Amino acid sequence: MPAYLEGKVVVVLGGGNEAQRAVAVALAQAGAAVAVAGRAPDFAAEAALHSIANELWALGRRSTAVTLADESAAAFAAALNQVRQELGRVDLVLRCEPVLNA
């Protein structure tokens, strides 16, 4: 697969769900370093974010998991600053959350 996003850093916001995982994996396969970010109100939610980040490392891509304290602009800015510190920059932010409960 061509590395269309080689050298780019993408933040994928979500809740550690399968949609977020699938998008993060596709971005990593396209060459991006990926930060998976989201609110983690409990240990299971935080573990889900770290699990996705670990999967991306296993694919050979830099990745990190970032937990947002809440949904405020300040928490979002702090999360982006953490990504910049860990991965060097931010090129794209995607919000990846389901809109329907089936």
Both tokens assigned to 64: 């990190």
Q: What is the pLDDT of residues 36-95, one digit of tens each?
A: 999 888 889 899 999 999 999 999 999 999 999 888 999 999 999 999 999 999 999 999
Q: Which domains does the chain have, with CATH numbers?
A: 9-95 (3.40.50.720)
Model-level pTM?
0.90
CA–CA distance, 31 with 3 (Å, rounded to integer) = 5
pLDDT at 40: 84
Res. 102: pLDDT tops 60? no
- Token output for 17: 């769900």
